């Protein structure tokens, strides 16, 4: 393994891959290889607890922080000590030889809206002349409940969604979205459940949350714009959400923890992290569209931290379940090159992007979007988060995206 590989000993992310018989197996990424933990755990630890026997992370996630730390310590020993090499080698194989699977059963899925730059950009575009942020924005992390059943693993093709939109003339059309977008985000994976009626305070964030993945919240802007008042995003988002196959433990991100940006006004008590260990994270994302880098969103710029998001999600007494996934919201920084969605990068389609395959405002059929990220690790090392990739495929009834095509069904509101 070359030195300072993003999946070096400092990272040790967990995932699930298809074994030779097609059944899932838990893997740990090490360099360009995968350690088959479903096979290695009983053999190397001597344990018969079946922790990884099912091939997914669900049991391990639920097992809690002491177990997570013990397994990480053992993995560091097995993969780091020369004396263990012979025992371990038999469980290693090249990652490129395997198909990655969704690593855990997604319980509930929540998406936040925690970047001030993103929220302000969208406010300026859609509510020109009024305050870019809504009155509640700086008092709570705004979020909505998404669709857990359509969270898919990286590489899953994204079928262009169909739905209703309203044209500039006020006509209602039904058809494939003509404004398909991405949102570059991080997802946080809950391991340990919480009891209904018992909020999770900021200080207990890492007792419940196991780790982090990359997330692309595919968004049909035309469907979203027409449907979202008054109850928020629905079908414009729920057709697909992609996550990276590797879940990076919070334990690997100790050196990436940074103070979040200053908050004003001071948040209410359950969100006030003054004096708490910081949960801002210096994770740097890159977004590529058909191979061309189009953005470098900085997670450290996020106004609300994941600890505040978890505290807010549970302040009303809602319980957590193993496999709950909550996403940060689009990560946009202060500069035009650090915006995490096409609607911002092209300013609502006014300024097309130039990529190798041509000009783009929103996504065309066949377009591939790849989001990657890194963070600082110990001793100058790099923590890699891998990638979340997805390619857009045509909506079944419309093989090409054509704004001028007659819609399948149209009514006039005029
Ligand atoms: Mn989103």
Q: What pLDDT score does 168 carry? A: 92
Instruction: Give me the pLDDT at residue 408, please.
Output: 47
- C-alpha 107 – ligand 1 centre gap (Å): 18
pLDDT computed for residue 192 by the predictor: 98
What separation in Å is there between the alpha carbon of 19 and the centre of ligand 1? 33
The mean pLDDT of 364-371, rounded to a whole number, is 98
Distance CA(303)–CA(47), nearest Å, equals 43
What separation in Å is there between the alpha carbon of 185 and the centre of ligand 1?
7
Provide, rounded to the nearest whole percent, the portion of the chain with pLDDT above 70. 95
Residues 196, 319: contact at Cβ < 8 Å?
yes
CA of 329 to the centre of ligand 1 (A): 4
What average pLDDT does range 140-146 have in this prediction?
Answer: 98
Mean pLDDT across the stretch 251-278?
97
Give the pLDDT band of residue 411 (cuts 50, 70, 90): very low
pLDDT number for residue 1:
55
**179-193 tens-digit pLDDT:** 999 999 999 999 999
Q: Distance, CA 238 to ligand 1 centroid (Å)?
A: 11
- Interval 377-398 mean pLDDT: 94
Catalytic residue, from 98, 118, 208, 312: name it.
118
Cα 368 to ligand 1 centre (Å): 18
**What value does the mean pLDDT take over residues 212-227?**
98
Per-residue confidence at 412, pLDDT binned at 50, 70, 90?
Answer: very low
Residue 92's alpha-carbon distances to 20, 27, 98, 176, 310, in angstroms, are 14, 9, 12, 44, 36
Calculate how far, in angstroms, residue 293's C-alpha sits from the geometric centre of ligand 1.
Answer: 20
| Active site (annotated) includes residue 409 | no
Question: pLDDT-derived band of residue 414, with 50, 70 and 90 as boundaries?
Answer: very low
Q: Which residues surround ligand 1, an ion (CB under 5 A)?
A: 111, 183, 217
User: Bigger pLDDT: 400 or 130?
Assistant: 130
Instruction: Report the separation in Å between the CA atom of 1 and the middle of ligand 1, taken as the mean of its atom positions.
Output: 36
**Share of residues in the chain with pLDDT > 90 (%):** 93
pLDDT per position as a tens digit, 324-337: 999 999 999 999 99
Q: Residue 385 Cα, ligand 1 centroid: separation in angstroms?
A: 19
Question: What is the rounded distance in angstroms from the CA atom of residue 143 to the CA atom of residue 410?
Answer: 32
Q: Which domains does the chain have, with CATH numbers?
A: 14-101 (2.30.30.230), 109-405 (3.90.850.10)
Ligand 1 centroid to 183 CA: how many Å?
6
Out of 229-233, 272-276, 339-343, 409-413, least confident range: 409-413
Average pLDDT, integer, range 135-161: 98
Average pLDDT over residues 302-313: 98
Whether the pLDDT of residue 96 is over 90: the answer is yes
Distance 307 CA to ligand 1 centre (A): 18
pLDDT of residue 3: 64
Amino acid 351: pLDDT: 96
Nearest-angstrom CA–CA distance, 322 and 314: 14
State residue 355's pLDDT score.
Answer: 93
| Res. 410 pLDDT band, cuts 50 70 90 | very low
pLDDT band at 126 (very low <50, low <70, confident <90, very high): confident
Average of pLDDT values for 213-233?
A: 97
In the predicted model, what is the mean pLDDT of residues 345-364? 95
Of residues 51 and 357, more confidence is placed in 51
Task: Please tell me the distance between residue 44's alpha carbon and the centre of ligand 1 in angstroms.
Answer: 41
pLDDT digits (tens, 9 = 90+) for 17-38: 999 999 999 999 999 999 999 9
Average pLDDT of the residues in 268-291: 97
pLDDT attached to residue 106: 98
Calculate the average pLDDT of the chain: 95
Tell me: the pLDDT tens digits for 62-89? 999 999 999 999 999 999 999 999 999 9
């Amino acid at each position: 393994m070359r030195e300072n590989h993003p999946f070096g000993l400092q990272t040790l992310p967990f995932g699930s891959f298809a074994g030779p018989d097609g059944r899932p197996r838990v893997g740990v990424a090490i360099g360009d290889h995968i350690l088959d933990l479903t096979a290695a755990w009983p053999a190397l630890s001597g344990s018969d607890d079946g922790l990884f026997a099912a091939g997914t992370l669900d049991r391990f996630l639920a097992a809690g922080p002491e177990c997570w730390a013990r397994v990480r310590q053992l993995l560091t020993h097995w993969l780091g000590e020369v004396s263990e090499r012979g025992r371990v080698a038999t469980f290693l194989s090249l990652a490129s030889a395997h198909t990655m699977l969704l690593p855990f059963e997604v319980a509930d899925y929540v998406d936040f809206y925690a970047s001030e730059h993103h929220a302000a950009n969208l406010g300026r575009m859609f509510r020109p002349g009024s305050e870019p942020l809504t009155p509640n924005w700086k008092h709570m992390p705004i979020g909505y409940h998404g669709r857990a059943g359509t969270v898919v693993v990286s590489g899953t093709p994204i079928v262009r969604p169909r739905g209703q939109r309203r044209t500039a003339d006020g006509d209602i059309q039904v058809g494939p979205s003509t404004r398909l977008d991405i949102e570059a985000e991080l997802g946080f994976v809950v391991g340990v459940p919480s009891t209904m009626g018992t909020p999770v305070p900021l200080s207990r964030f890492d007792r419940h949350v196991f780790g982090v993945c990359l997330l692309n919240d595919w968004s049909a802007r035309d469907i979203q714009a027409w449907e979202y008042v008054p109850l928020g995003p629905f079908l414009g988002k729920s057709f697909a959400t992609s996550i990276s196959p590797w879940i990076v433990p919070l334990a690997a991100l100790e050196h990436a923890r940074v103070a979040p940006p200053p908050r004003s006004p001071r948040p209410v008590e359950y969100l006030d992290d003054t004096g708490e260990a910081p949960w801002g994270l210096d994770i740097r994302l890159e977004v590529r569209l058909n191979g061309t880098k189009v953005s470098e969103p900085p997670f450290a710029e996020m106004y609300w931290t994941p600890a505040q998001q978890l505290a807010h999600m549970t302040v009303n007494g809602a319980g957590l379940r193993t496999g709950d996934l909550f996403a940060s919201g689009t990560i946009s920084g202060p500069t035009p090159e650090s915006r995490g969605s096409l609607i911002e990068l092209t300013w609502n389609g006014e300024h097309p992007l130039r990529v190798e395959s041509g000009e783009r405002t929103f996504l065309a059929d066949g377009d591939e979007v790849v989001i990657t990220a890194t963070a600082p690790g110990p001793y100058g090392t790099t923590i890699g988060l891998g990638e979340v990739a997805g390619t857009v495929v045509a909506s079944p009834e419309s093989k090409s995206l054509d704004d001028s095509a007659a819609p399948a069904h149209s009514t006039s509101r005029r």
